[in-house]
């Protein structure tokens, strides 16, 4: 009986030593590849170019001359009204949309009259800025949605290279991705001196 107890005790000690040795060896061996089932339980990694990559953010800018309508010539002394439409044509929501309007100050002067109201402007530099259209409009810019800005100028002189440009630069989406710069420019005809109203007809003046 004494001998049996000793053998049993030695067997337990041997088993313990084997377990300790296996654990020690395992700590130095590389981990085995995960099985397909184990991989399926893991959250997807976000890798550029993979199916799990964040959606690509894209904005487009469309600039149009609303008024005077139906004429190809601006008249010194009248008001010119432009519209900037910024559209989210990508697949992610845009959360920061700074906008700039650059204009030829030789022929245009900002009143200021903008909707929504601008953050700052400088007629000497020919620039109007909106710090963030998301704040101006009160909501994020979801895919397919647009922000519209109306800007009014006084036509103050002639210029051989008149222009008005809407620019969005520095925008950021919900995934903290930078949005490529988007812009649109209108080339303006050289404003002509104002003529009597009786001389202005529909179409080209």
Q: Indicate the CATH number for domain 59-195.
A: 2.60.40.680
What size, in residues, is the chain? 205
CA distance 198 to 122: 35
CA distance 133 to 84: 12
Query: For residue range 116-158, what is the model confidence (pLDDT) as tens digits?
Result: 999 999 999 999 999 999 999 999 999 999 999 999 999 999 8
pLDDT band for position 31 (cuts 50, 70, 90): very low
Q: Quick one: how far is CA 201 from the chain centroid?
A: 43
Query: For residue range 54-107, what is the model confidence (pLDDT) as tens digits?
Result: 678 999 999 999 999 877 778 899 999 999 999 999 999 999 999 999 999 999
Domain boundaries, the chain: 59-195
């Amino acid at each position: 009986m004494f001998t049996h107890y000793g053998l049993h005790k030695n067997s337990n000690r041997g088993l313990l030593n084997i377990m300790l040795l296996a654990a020690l060896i395992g700590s130095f061996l590389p981990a085995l590849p995960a099985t397909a089932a184990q991989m399926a339980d893991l959250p997807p990694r976000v890798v550029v170019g993979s199916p799990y990559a964040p959606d690509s953010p894209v904005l487009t800018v469309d600039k149009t001359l609303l008024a005077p309508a139906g004429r190809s010539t601006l008249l010194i002394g009248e008001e010119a009204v432009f519209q900037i439409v910024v559209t989210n044509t990508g697949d992610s929501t845009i959360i920061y949309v700074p906008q700039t309007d650059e204009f030829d100050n030789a022929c245009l002067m900002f009143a200021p009259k903008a909707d929504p109201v601008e953050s700052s402007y400088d007629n000497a530099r020919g620039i109007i800025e909106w710090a963030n259209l998301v704040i101006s409009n009160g909501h994020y810019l979801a895919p397919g949605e647009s922000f519209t800005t109306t800007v009014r100028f006084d036509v103050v002189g002639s210029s051989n290279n008149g222009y008005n440009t809407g620019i969005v630069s520095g925008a950021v989406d919900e995934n903290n991705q930078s949005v490529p710069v988007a812009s649109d420019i209108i080339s303006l005809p050289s404003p002509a001196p104002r003529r009597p109203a009786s001389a202005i007809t529909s179409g080209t003046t």
